C-alpha cells in the first residue's frame, strides 16, 4: 500500500444518505477473486437500469475518472465487509468526504489507503452547493487536514493514528512489526521467568 500526503482529483457528489456496504458491492460478487478487480462492481445495482445496462443518468457512469466522492451521512453502514473498500479503491477512489461514516468502514478504508474525510453538516451542505451537475476538482492535504474546492477551503477530521497510516502506507500489521525487537525481548523475558506457560516442544 503506497502512502500519500496530498491528493488532487475530480470529485463527484453522491447525495444519498446511508449508502451501505451491500450497495457499494453486492454480496453476490464477493466470491470473485480480488485479483480480478472489484472496481467493476462498485455501486453495481445503483448504476444500472432494469435490463442491467449502465444508466446514462447516473453521474459516476458519465465520469469514470473520478477519484473523490462527496457522500451523504452514514456512508459505509451495514455489514463489515472489507470488499466494499476494495471496490472503491479498485475503481480509483482515493477519498470519500462525508458528514459521518460507519466506524468499521472507516477503519477498513484507512487500512487500504482510502481516506474517510469527516466534515461537519454545515460544511457538507456548503460543499454540495459547489457541484453543478458535473465533477469539481478537490485538493486534499493530509498533514493539515484540509480540503479545497475552488476558493472554498475547509477542515476535515481524522484520527492522528489514521493519518500516520495513510501517510506512511502502513496497516495494523505493519505498525506492529515495527516493534518486533520489543516483542521478542518481552517474549524472551516471559520464557525465562515462566517457561511453564509456553507450549512444550514437539517430539
- 139 in Cβ contact with 115 (< 8 Å): no
> Which grid cell sits at 74?
452514514
Residues of the chain with pLDDT under 70: 201-203
Can you tell me whether residue 58 is helix, strand or coil?
coil
> Which grid cell sits at 109?
478504508
Sequence-ordered alpha helix ranges (H) in 29-159:
59-62, 83-90, 103-110, 121-128
pLDDT at residue 174 in the model: 77
Measured distance CA(126)–CA(136) in Å, rounded: 13
Measured distance CA(201)–CA(64) in Å, rounded: 57
Measured distance CA(156)–CA(120) in Å, rounded: 8
pLDDT at residue 181 in the model: 84
For residue 192, the number of C-alpha atoms closer than 13 Å in the C-beta half-sphere is 6
pTM of the complete model: 0.86
Burial of 21 (C-beta count, 10 Å sphere; 0-12/13-18/19+): buried
- 29 in Cβ contact with 38 (< 8 Å): yes
> Which grid cell sits at 44?
453495481
pLDDT at residue 202 in the model: 63
Amino acid at each position: 500500500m503506497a502512502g500519500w500526503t496530498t491528493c488532487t482529483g475530480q470529485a463527484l457528489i453522491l447525495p444519498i444518505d446511508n449508502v451501505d456496504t451491500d450497495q457499494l458491492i453486492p454480496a453476490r460478487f464477493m466470491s470473485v477473486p480480488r485479483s480480478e478487480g472489484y472496481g467493476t462492481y462498485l455501486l453495481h445495482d445503483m448504476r444500472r437500469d432494469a435490463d442491467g445496462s449502465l444508466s446514462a443518468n447516473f453521474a459516476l457512469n458519465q465520469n469514470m475518472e473520478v477519484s473523490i466522492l462527496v457522500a451523504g451521512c452514514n456512508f459505509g453502514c451495514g455489514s463489515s465487509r472489507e470488499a466494499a473498500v476494495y471496490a472503491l479503491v479498485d475503481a480509483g477512489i482515493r477519498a470519500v468526504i462525508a458528514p459521518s461514516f460507519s466506524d468499521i468502514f472507516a477503519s477498513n478504508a484507512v487500512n487500504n489507503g482510502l481516506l474517510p474525510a469527516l466534515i461537519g453538516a454545515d460544511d457538507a451542505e456548503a460543499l454540495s452547493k459547489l457541484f453543478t451537475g458535473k465533477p469539481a476538482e478537490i485538493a486534499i492535504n493530509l498533514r493539515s487536514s484540509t480540503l479545497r474546492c475552488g476558493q472554498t477551503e475547509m477542515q476535515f477530521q481524522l484520527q492522528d493514528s489514521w493519518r500516520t497510516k495513510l501517510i506512511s502506507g502502513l496497516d495494523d500489521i505493519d505498525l506492529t512489526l515495527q516493534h518486533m525487537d520489543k516483542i521478542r525481548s518481552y517474549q524472551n523475558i516471559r520464557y525465562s521467568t515462566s517457561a511453564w506457560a509456553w507450549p512444550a516442544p514437539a517430539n
